[in-house]
Amino acid sequence: MAPTIWLFILSILKALTQGGIIPMKAMIGVDIGTTSTKAVAYDLQGNVQAYANISYPLYQDTPDTAEEDPEEIFSAVVEVLTQVTRKAALNPGDLQGVSFSAAMHSLILLDKDKQPLSRAITWADNRSAKYAQQLKENGLGEKLYQKTGTPIHPMTPLSKIMWLRHEKPELFKKAHYFIGIKDYVLYKIFGQLVMDYSLASATGLFNIHQMTWDAEALKTAGITAKQLPQLVDTTYQLHGLNSAYAKVTGIDANVPFVIGASDGVLSNLGVNAIDPGVLAVTIGTSGAVRTVVDKPTTDPQGRLFCYALTKDKWVIGGPVNNGGIVFRWVRDQLFAPEKITAEQMRVDTYEILTEIAEKIPAGSDGLLFHPYLGGERAPIWDANARGSFFGLTRQHTRAHMVRAALEGIVYNLYMVMLQIEGVAGKPKAIQATGGFARSELWRQMLADIFEQKVTIPQSFESSCLGAAVIGMLSLDLVDDLSAVKSMVGSTNVHQPNPANFSVYRELIPIWIRVGRAMASEYANIANFQRTHLAAHRNTKMGADIEQNNNSNS
């Protein structure tokens, strides 16, 4: 059904509902993301009734720092709940519950009174790289990975806590609790310090086989289980909404809140990629490739994560740092004049770049791009990785660079898929989501490189929908998670083009070998950049201070 027709029908239903003719029961899904929090009100058939989105800054004081203000995020959660409740215009008793999704790997230190001692350190923070590397080199990392299902990387709270203990000892000593951002939000609202199994399974501190905090991981971090939140199932309910927040948001204090899960596993649920063999490929700012298995499963080489959705559904896969953010870099750094012109004409610059890339043949005439502009998690798990073009000749143009960058992003995702295939078997279908899914070129490129049919699900804010569905399951509003199938349709289906197979089959092995050849120098160039960027920043800061002093004298 065309979106305009669907919206027209929805508006009629809402008008009838508000007139008291049809009861419109609703569930709100909230996704606490890295740079914004979103809330969507759905009816029990998964149709959108209202939407709200509040952004907040990511603080990057140094190249390796990536933090957020917990209070800014909490305020955003309260605001989106307030907005979406008002926009949905629900009658008393219509709202059945609120359920949560949240970004993984965040870490907040609390004092003895449960007040924040730090900003929220996000997954993108690389300051603990030294300690992640130590775990890899001494063999303990592999042992911990097999128990926790979390790859050894600076993203994990395990590595972050090790870094804090050694590099920030005074702050570490003051900390009585180590929690994540969703834990903090729910504590502020309900006064309970709880963490769901899903987010716990992304900390590097949780034993996925025993479903409890892992003693060896805690010893490695230097903390105890008493300093972590109480572990609960992803369907756990919180009751007794704080009266002040009930008044502000307009949500009845008796409405149950469901703790939910992490954004990645709920995105799989929200796009109906929960059956064996169905692969979810997401490219937003970052990206991920994930599939569902029925029990905890790890990779012998420690390259894939294994995170809980429910006790009998586990999501394995790999996250990538470099998705749409690479396309943004191409736009801002290689096509800055076109960007300015497009903004003046109120045209989408990305559409222009896509049209430019479409004129270049598959394989970009032998130009390869490794998209490691912000280090990389899967498939190489190297925080020092750096990007590069390889194969440049005088015949290559900026148009080739655009297409090579897009192909490089997909090559990287393809490598993650190969790792999943080695553990869970060859995928049967691909559900693709994220901002890139709006591009027909990217969708076809994904089908050609993966040599698989690609379907674009018709679901709005998949992590929010996933949160809403798991909330419905908790409240007995659906029988099981398969109810999501009737809520998710499809907008586009792309079949792989055999004409491009031979090109990509020839280039992908070259792309892999080049990446491996450069890997030995990633740490050297990264250290050079850190040293010289810091020196440049200090020099500039000194010059600015001197200039201010001169102007004030």
pLDDT tens, 121-162? 999 999 999 999 999 999 999 999 999 999 999 999 999 999
What pLDDT does 2 receive? 46
pLDDT of amino acid 545: 44
Tokens representing residue 333 in the block: 């750094």
Which amino acid, 24?
M
In whole angstroms, give the CA distance from residue 67 to residue 187.
Answer: 20
Q: Is 319 left (phi over 0), alpha (psi -120 to 50) or beta?
A: beta
Q: Which pLDDT score, from 0 to 100, does residue 552 have?
A: 47
User: What is residue 23's predicted lDDT score, i.e. its pLDDT?
Assistant: 55
Determine the pLDDT at residue 32: 97
What is the model's pLDDT at position 335?
Answer: 95
CA gap 511, 413 in Å, rounded? 13
Distance, CA of 306 to CA of 345 (rounded, Å): 46
Three-class SS string for 434-494? CHHHHCHHHHHHHHHHHCCCEEEEECCCHHHHHHHHHHHHHCCCCCCHHHHHHCCEEEEEE
Using alpha carbons, list the distances in angstroms from residue 438 to 337, 343, 360, 432, 458: 23, 19, 19, 10, 12
- What residue ranges of the chain have pLDDT lower than 70? 1-23, 534-553
Please state the domain extents for the chain. Answer: 26-268, 273-458+497-515
Nearest to 535 by CA among 543, 524, 547: 543
So what's the pLDDT on residue 537? 65
Count of alpha carbons within 13 Å of 551, Cβ hemisphere only? 6
d(CA 514, CA 157): 32
Q: Could you write out the DSSP letters of every residue in 153-165?
A: STTSHHHHHHHHH
**pLDDT attached to residue 539:** 61
Tell me the backbone φ, ψ of residue 214, rounded to 5 degrees. Answer: -85, 125
Please tell us whether the domain made up of 26-268 is placed in CATH 3.30.420.40: yes
Q: Do domains 26-268 and 273-458+497-515 have the same CATH topology?
A: yes
Q: 310, 265, 260, 202: which is closest to 29 by C-alpha? A: 260
Pick the CATH number of 273-458+497-515 from 3.30.2350.10, 3.30.950.10, 3.30.420.40, 3.40.720.10: 3.30.420.40
pLDDT at 458: 85
Distance in angstroms (rounded) separating the CA atoms of residues 74 and 83: 14
Residues 282 and 413: their CA atoms lie apart, in Å, by 9
CA-only gyration radius of the chain, Å:
24
